[in-house]
Amino acid sequence: MTVSNAALERAAELRLEIAFHNRQYHTLDDPKISDAAFDALMQELLRLEEEFPELLIATSPTSKVGGGLNKAFSEVRHERPMLSLENAFSREDIEDFWRRLQQKLGDDEITLVAEPKLDGLAVSLIYDDGHLVRAATRGDGETGEDITNNILTIGDIPHQLGGAGWPAHLEIRGEVFMPRAGFKRLNERALAAGEKTFANPRNAAAGSLRQIDSRVTQERPLSFYCYGQGAYPSEALPSRHSQLLEELRRWGIPINPEILLVTSIEGCLSFYEDLMKRRPDLAYDIDGVVYKVDLFADRDRLGSIARAPRWAIAHKFPAEEALTRLISIDVQVGRTGALTPVARLEPVFVGGVTVTNATLHNAEEIQRKDIRVGDQVVVRRAGDVIPEIARSLPDQRPPSSIPFEMPSHCPICRHFASRKAIDIDGLGEKLIDQLLERHLIETVADLYQLTPSVLSTLDRLGEKSSQNLLKALDKSRHTTLPRFLFALGIREVGEVTGRLLAEHFRNLEDLMAADQATLEAIPDIGPSVARHIMTFFQQPHNLEVIRKLLDNGVFWDPLPERPPIEELPLAGKIFVVTGTLEHFTRDQASEAITALGGKVTSSVSKKTDYVVTGRDPGSKATKALDLGIDLLQEEDFIHLLKG
């Protein structure tokens, strides 16, 4: 097939772009794109080279490993090349890998060693007569950097092998990484000292190993796991990789405890799924798993291509980080008065889901990370954790960008004081504006600390009005749990959802402690609402406001005990209330229905069982008749409740 000009130009663009990002990642420890974005560039170039073999040149990054070298260190020529690994992203990729193994090795049982793919820095360690004599980075695969002095500061790595029986000369290979707890402490110290923080543990580990002064490396919390051997006497090598790892463990070399032998595609995928579920709980970052043929004789038969062995493959997890553009920053107003900035993003697939929104936590976080509208940003998502903006790429931002400023205040007390929420009679919009403008209140909890002397300073508020307002505030202290939850202003939690949460949890403490899975298990609570609820109760500001409200005397009576909802007389029945009732307000009618297990909705549909009608019922009654749904006059409704 003839190579088109478009393919030639795109391949050239990709080579330049990949070379740039390789240098940023491997040499400068300052990546400008996520691992997933880099993998996508490599995959695109690989596809082009497979479609048009004429495009494959000796200097293509698909034929190379790693990046350039830091000239501050001496160069080390590896005794055997340190190859990279082919990547797999799907079950189909693993099936293809397995099929290639079977074609080459026959139908005999194939055993693979499955292990976590650590997100750190690959190193080579040379031991002579059991003593560590040299350590080097992978570099470009052929030549690395001499980092012996820095490696000697890592407590996990033995300077002298233990036990006996080791060869006179051997090379082991593994990954230097920074555990998450150590990374957190390192960044906290950097923040306290006003220094630049690291973007992630991998960058921190790489930067620590490339310190000219090894005393700096010694202060960094680095660890090491061995994943195999390099130069090694053939007569001393066991027949299997798994046996070698056990031997190295006896000599004092750290081996990852998660390693497992598998003998089938399903075994590979089971290991992958299990480790992906446990990924957030591991003490270190991983970005996938690696499968390696166990038998060394089979590895020799399989051989290698230019940059990767045919006997191993890396099965990558869905990206936990991805690059996208920040479209806008919206300020979500918790009805308690909390202002929470939320990033609106161009849709991006990260952590197994498509993300369009991410939390920015607070104004201080935006300022510290220098995040601006229009920026290219790195979005991070781990497991079920709410997506967040990890960092921006300032060198790619438009010239017209300006720093983001949070609003100084927001009069959200209007919602809190409304009739269906806490119901503070006499607390109108203009009065709230005065209280906020004069900084007499900052959150809704401050309303309960207002005094006659404070109120006397307000415009157009006489003594009688002040007294009435204070009485209304005092009366509002006694509320109900559903009203309190509605008043808090949790995003997407209205009156119905507030009642649903109150009925399910029965107390505030259990609701505040609920995780995503617990919330989603409640009927009519979907993933989006569950995330908003969980996020709300994770915000320190919201917790502080709730504490102050309770300290200022806001309370509610315990919900009465009642049978399970499925045993209640109206369980599963859906009601719509319309028109003006004589003996009930709309709220009282709804509460009476839900107390008996029914559900109240605002619109009539085929799923509606009853429409309760008062005076002037309007179009909802007409629609109910069209759909053949029973209409209940108020008298019939009362009989239904009593019966």
pLDDT of residue 200: 81
Q: pLDDT above 70 covers what percent of the chain?
A: 92
Under the banding of pLDDT at 50, 70 and 90, the label for residue 530 is confident
Under the banding of pLDDT at 50, 70 and 90, the label for residue 255 is very high
pLDDT of residue 335: 47
State the pairing for strand pair 75-77/555-556.
unpaired
How far apart CA 501 and CA 577 sit, in angstroms, is 21
- Per the CB < 8 A criterion, the answer to whether 286 and 310 are in contact is no
What number is the average pLDDT over the span 438-450? 87
Query: Across the beta sheet with 169-177, what order do the strands follow?
Result: 131-137, 121-128, 169-177, 223-229
Under the banding of pLDDT at 50, 70 and 90, the label for residue 334 is low
For residues 268, 272, 275 and 276, what is the CA-based torsion angle, rounded to 10 degrees?
Answer: -170
pLDDT of residue 336: 47
Of 348, 362, 358, nearest to 390 by C-alpha is: 358
State the pairing for strand pair 574-578/555-556.
unpaired
Mean pLDDT, all residues of the chain: 85
Under the banding of pLDDT at 50, 70 and 90, the label for residue 252 is very high
Catalytic residue among 64, 117, 292, 316: 117
How far apart CA 464 and CA 217 sit, in angstroms, is 71
- Per the CB < 8 A criterion, the answer to whether 15 and 26 are in contact is no
pLDDT of residue 23: 67
Under the banding of pLDDT at 50, 70 and 90, the label for residue 111 is very high
Q: Residue 159 in 3-state DSSP?
A: coil
Report pLDDT digits (tens) over 452-463: 888 888 887 888
What crossing angle do the helices spanning 481-488 and 495-505 adopt, rounded to 10°?
Answer: 130
pLDDT of residue 412: 56
Of the listed ranges 39-48, 110-119, 278-287, 570-579, the one predicted with least confidence: 39-48
pLDDT of residue 547: 92
What number is the average pLDDT over the span 198-217? 86
* pLDDT value at 44 more than 70: yes
* pLDDT value at 203 more than 90: no
The pairs formed by 17-23 with CB atoms below 8 angstroms and a separation of 24 or more are: 17/41, 18/42, 18/45, 18/61, 19/61, 22/61, 22/66, 22/67, 22/68, 23/67, 23/68
Report pLDDT digits (tens) over 55-85: 777 567 775 555 555 556 889 999 999 998 9
Report pLDDT digits (tens) over 622-635: 889 888 898 999 99
Report pLDDT digits (tens) over 274-283: 999 898 889 9
Name, in order, each residue with C-beta under 8 angstroms of 612's C-beta and a sequence gap of 6 or more. 575, 576, 577, 578, 581, 589, 632, 634, 637
Q: Residue 317 in 3-state DSSP?
A: coil
Residue with tokens 């055997």: 80
Q: Between 31 and 399, whose confidence is greater?
A: 399
* pLDDT value at 383 more than 60: no
How far apart CA 173 and CA 177 sit, in angstroms, is 13
Predicted model pTM: 0.51
* pLDDT value at 449 more than 80: yes
pLDDT of residue 411: 45
Under the banding of pLDDT at 50, 70 and 90, the label for residue 407 is low
Residue type, 368: R
Angle of CA points 608, 609, 611, to nearest 5°: 80
pLDDT of residue 70: 54
How far apart CA 19 and CA 203 sit, in angstroms, is 18
pLDDT of residue 408: 56
State the pairing for strand pair 478-479/321-333.
unpaired
What number is the average pLDDT over the span 6-24? 78
- For the question of residue 117 being annotated catalytic, the response is yes
Under the banding of pLDDT at 50, 70 and 90, the label for residue 165 is very high
- CB count within 10 Å of CB 338 equals 23
Under the banding of pLDDT at 50, 70 and 90, the label for residue 190 is confident
Q: Between 257 and 387, whose confidence is greater?
A: 257
Q: Is 621 exposed, middle or buried (0-12, 13-18, 19+ CB in 10 A)?
A: buried
Of 513, 508, 510, nearest to 481 by C-alpha is: 508
How far apart CA 94 and CA 315 sit, in angstroms, is 8
Of the listed ranges 16-25, 282-291, 354-363, 465-474, the one predicted with least confidence: 16-25
Supply 392's token pair. Answer: 């921006």
Which DSSP helix (H) or strand (E) runs through 357? strand 353-359
pLDDT of residue 283: 93
What number is the average pLDDT over the span 586-600? 84
Domains of the chain: 5-63 (1.10.287.610), 75-87+113-262+282-310 (3.30.470.30), 321-396 (2.40.50.140), 413-476 (1.10.150.20), 481-556 (1.10.150.20), 565-642 (3.40.50.10190)
Q: Between 294 and 500, whose confidence is greater?
A: 294
How far apart CA 34 and CA 321 sit, in angstroms, is 6
* pLDDT value at 590 more than 90: no
Of 38, 26, 37, nearest to 121 by C-alpha is: 26
* pLDDT value at 340 more than 80: no
pLDDT of residue 305: 84
